[in-house]
Structure formats: C-alpha cells, structure tokens
Structure 1
Amino acid sequence: MTPFHLLGFRFAIAFIALSILRFIGIININLKAKNLKKLFLLALFQPGIYFICETTGMLYTTSSEAGMMIALIPVAVTILAALILNERPTFIQSIFVALSVGGVFFIIFNRGASPIEGNYLGLLLLGGAVIAAGFYNIISRQLSLEFKPVEITYVMMGFGAFLFNTIALSQNNFDLSSYFNLLTNRVVLITVLYLGLFSSVVAFFMMNYTLSKITAAESAVFANLTTVVSIAAGVVFRNEPFFKFQVVGAVLIIIGVWGTNYFGRPVVEEGEKIYEKV
C-alpha cells in the first residue's frame, strides 16, 4: 500500500467507528457555536501535517530511527508551552525532560558505531512531524476548555479520512475498484482495523483527554516511550538489530518520563478551567 492509501483507510475506519457510536447514542458530539476554526487548525497539524511527514519519513528510515526522532516531541512541546501557554516546567521537571531527551540522543550518537544507517531526508521529514506534534499538543490543551476530548478526536478523524483518502484516490486515478480491493487481503484488513480503532480512536482520545487534565509538557514527555516501544517492535516484528546502548538509552528515557510527571505541579479543576495550585 502507498502511505496515503494506508492512512486513508486508517482514518476512515476511525471516523466510521466514532460515527456509529454517535448514531447509537454512546457518545455525544456538539460542535455548535464553538471555535471550529481553531479545531480545524489542530486537525491540520494532527493528523494532517504530522502523518504526512511521519509516514513519508518512515519510508527512508527504520522504525527505531523514527522512534528516536519522535521522542524529541517533548522538547518542542515544552518550548511552545512556555511561550504560548505560559506553562513553564519546574527546575526538576526540566532536568528529567533533559534526561529523557538525553536517552534519545545517547541512542542516536551511538548509532554511528552500529550497522544502523541514517537517511537525512527521512530524518528531516520526521523533524517536521515533531514540530506539527508540538503545535497539536498546545492547541489541544487550549481547546480542552471548550471541547470535550471525544469532540476533538471526532473532528481529527473526519479531517484525516477526508484528506488522506482524497490524496490516495488522486494517486490511484480515482479507480475505486482497485482502491478498495486491498481490503479483501486479510493482513491489510487486520492492519487497518488495528491502526484505525486502537492507534487512532483509542490512542488519540486518551491523548486529548490527558491534555485536558495535565500540562502539555507533562503529557508530551510520554512520547519518549515511543522510542522504547519502537525499538522493541523493530526487533520483534521487523528483525532489526538490537544493541546494548539502546537498553541504556531506554532506561534514561523511562526515568525521565517518570520524573517529569512525578515532580509535576499538581492541578485542580474548577468549572471548565484548569488552575495550578498556588
């Protein structure tokens, strides 16, 4: 499958699943008289720009390298949160964010002594995904005061389904027969169902919900665990090489994620707004 074909199926399944839940009354979506322009801006960054950059970048890198780059998201989020949301991390949180990022760079720097070869076009594209993810975290945090997490997720899935299927169909000369024939392949069907239902609906809902409860930096640092998961998945499912330095880096990342959230400033909800305890 082409990258956009896969993304088109993934987000279409996600949007259809949420629409069914909305139709039978399990979830409630109310977008009237709300800031839809900003919500669509969020959807442009995530899934739009993010997945265009990430999926294309994956064509030129290993899943391990992709995990390393995506783990830089907390850096972008921490900087943007401080500038835009005035959510400045405490000193000790900054240390643990740096420790987590240090684990990522430890893996990257030691890569030169291993058979893992970098492709700079892929890394550049993944860098674009990092920036897009940073803005997504910030905007989702802002919109959490006006929209429910499921409403943000619903619009994101609908936007992704429209955007990626439009691109994929144009690449396929709008041949609907061959376009949908791939769904008869068992492996393809299982893959897109997993990506659509779990990696899209469930994961993005949990991300949007988390961003409504804790600061953007505390939420984003969990992205560093992507490195750990990606390394493990690359080894198990794609027979990619595994090295001792990756274990050291993974330990640093996990400690950094724990410390950033353990020493975070507690927050409480009051009405529809979130305040820091003073």
Structure 2
Amino acid sequence: MNKKYIADFTLLFVAFVWGTTFVVVQNAISFLQPHTFNAVRFFMAALLLSVWLVVFRRDEIKAINKKLLLSGMAIGFWLFIGYACQTIGLVYTTSSKAGFITGLSVVLVPLLSFFILKIKPGIYAIIGVSIATVGLYLLTMCGTAILNIGDLLVFFCAIGFAMQIIYTGKYSSQYPSLSLTIIQISFVAILSSVCAFLFEDWQKAIQPEILFQREVVIALMVTSFLATAFAFLVQTYFQKYTSATHTALIFATEPVFAALTAFLFAGERMSVGGIIGSIFILLGMIFAEFPSKRKKAAENTIQEKAV
C-alpha cells in the first residue's frame, strides 16, 4: 500500500483516539482531580518514550543540550496550558462542546502566527476564523444566558494547543523529534505535579482504591499510551509522507469523533443551534487550512523530497 495512504489512515486513527479521550477523561476526573490525572498521564507517557529512546534511539541522547532543553520546555509550557485548561474545563462543560472548541486551535494557528511570527494569514485563514467565530458563538451561547466557565477554559486550551503547534513548528526542524517530544511531555508532567501538589488532593493518586478504579485505569491507558506516547510518535514519523495542510485537515475530524463518542457513550445531546455552531467550527477549520496555489505547490515539493 502507498505510504501516503498508510499515513492518512494512521493519522486519522490518531484523530479518532484524541476525539474519544474527552469522554474517558471526563469519567476519570470524577475520581482523580485534573492536575493529578495529567501528572500521572504524562509521567507514564514520558517513561514509555524514554524507554524507546534508550533502547532504539540511544544516539539521540548525545544530542541533548541546554538549547534543546529550553526549546522543549517552551513547547511543553503551552502543551501544559492546553491540557490543564481542557481537563479542568471538562468538569464544567460537555465532551462534545469541548471537542469542537478545542478544534479551534487549527483556526487560531494562522491568526497567532501573524502576531508572533509576523506571518500574514491568507484569505482562506481569515474566512476560516470568521466562520469559526460565528460557530463558537452558536455552540456556546445557544440556550444559555452567559458563557459557561468550562467553555471559556476549553477556549484557553485551544489557544495553548495553537501556541504549542506554532513553537513545535519553530523548533522541530532544529532538534531530534523524539528527544524534543520527551522533554516537552516530561515538562508537562512536572508542571502538572506542581499544580496538583499546590491546589489538589494529590495523595489520591497513590490510593489504590482510586487509582485502580475502572474509569481511571481505562482513561490512563488510553491517554498515556495511545493519545500521548503513540500519537506523538506516529505524527512525527508519518507526517513526512503527507503535507502539513493535509494533516491539519485530517485532525479537523477530532471534534466530530468527540461528538459521536459523547452521543453514543455519554448520552449527550446538542441543541439545534449547537449542532449548527459545530458545523460552522468544522467548516472554519477546513477553510483556515485550505492552501493557496503557491503554498500548495511548495508543500507538494517538500512532500516529494521527503518520500
């Protein structure tokens, strides 16, 4: 089978895994508090990837230096903001709404790139942002008088993920991917642990009757190994066989999977306005990543060289 098709299918599976985690995490944080859950999750993922590094990519260890550490920590900081706000937000909002609001990170990337990297957004990015903004209003405000605090937290989560994507793009070409990933994931684990120690009852994480609850075990297995360690490795390896825009469009299916799993396993229902808003957000994500002819030609050239 063509490597491009294998890459597309595998990245689609990653989007599916990410989409399904909203429900399982929401179930788990009723037993284990958000920062504590994230601390355990990311420590497990970092440990798994570290074993992979030592066993299969030992030569990358020699390349670790101060600049690599600082770069990984910068990416990890925004990843921490993303997951912290998302996990806490799930305490107050639904999985389906959280999925679509998180998906706004795809739309926010070109907008934030303009302010941070001075990269002017194209017409499609501007259209995408406009459509997604209307969708966000419909999704979060229909049937309610004020914005839900969980919706607001998940929106900050989308900003965190967008910043993480921007800084990953900035540093990923400069350093080995696996080492950079381990550092950022480890930094998320450290920051989550500090917050758990300061603001939560972190001792629940070492209580067997809580840690081995069925919902907690399932959530940790899915998020640590599949949604974090596996997903990051897969994205790093397979993205060289497809364009960045194509990858972003595949990942735009994540909120759809989130809404479907929330409907099937959590019994969540959206209002008509919420459904229309979700569709607008999805369309906005697609428009935001739709390339100009010049950009498409450049990405195709890079893809052909990679293959």
| TM-score relative to the length of structure 2 | 0.70
Other-structure match for 1:24: 55
Residues 97 and 148 of structure 1, relative CA distance in 2, 3 Å threshold: farther
Residues 194 and 44 of structure 1, relative CA distance in 2, 3 Å threshold: same
Greater helix share, structure number? 2
Other-structure match for 1:38: 71
Distance 1:213 1:246 in 2: 33
Distance 2:78 2:175 in 1: 17
SS in 1 for 2:170: helix
Distance 1:235 1:258 in 2: 23
Partner amino acid for 2:180? I
Structure 1's unaligned 5+ residue stretches are: none
How far has the Cα of 1:176 moved from its partner? 7.0
Tell me if structure 1 keeps the 8 A contact 2:107–2:132: no
Partner amino acid for 2:109? V
- Identity across the alignment (%): 21
Other-structure match for 2:157: 129
2:296 pairs with 1:263: no
Residues 88 and 221 of structure 1, relative CA distance in 2, 3 Å threshold: farther
Matches within 5 A, 1:94-243: 94-109=126-141, 111-112=142-143, 120-169=148-197, 171-172=200-201, 174=203, 177-178=206-207, 180-206=208-234, 210=239, 224-243=252-271
How far has the Cα of 1:147 moved from its partner? 1.8
Distance 1:76 1:257 in 2: 9
Residues 232 and 70 of structure 1, relative CA distance in 2, 3 Å threshold: same
Partner amino acid for 1:107? L
Distance 1:103 1:246 in 2: 8
Residues 173 and 4 of structure 1, relative CA distance in 2, 3 Å threshold: closer
Distance 1:238 1:117 in 2: 24
Deviates more, 1:190-199 or 1:220-229: 220-229
SS in 2 for 1:239: coil
**Aligned equivalent of 1:81, options 93, 110, 113:** 113
Structure 2's unaligned 5+ residue stretches are: 1-31
SS in 2 for 1:60: coil
| TM-score relative to the length of structure 1 | 0.76
- Equivalenced residue count is 265
Deviates more, 1:123-132 or 1:87-96: 87-96
Root-mean-square deviation over aligned CA pairs: 3.6
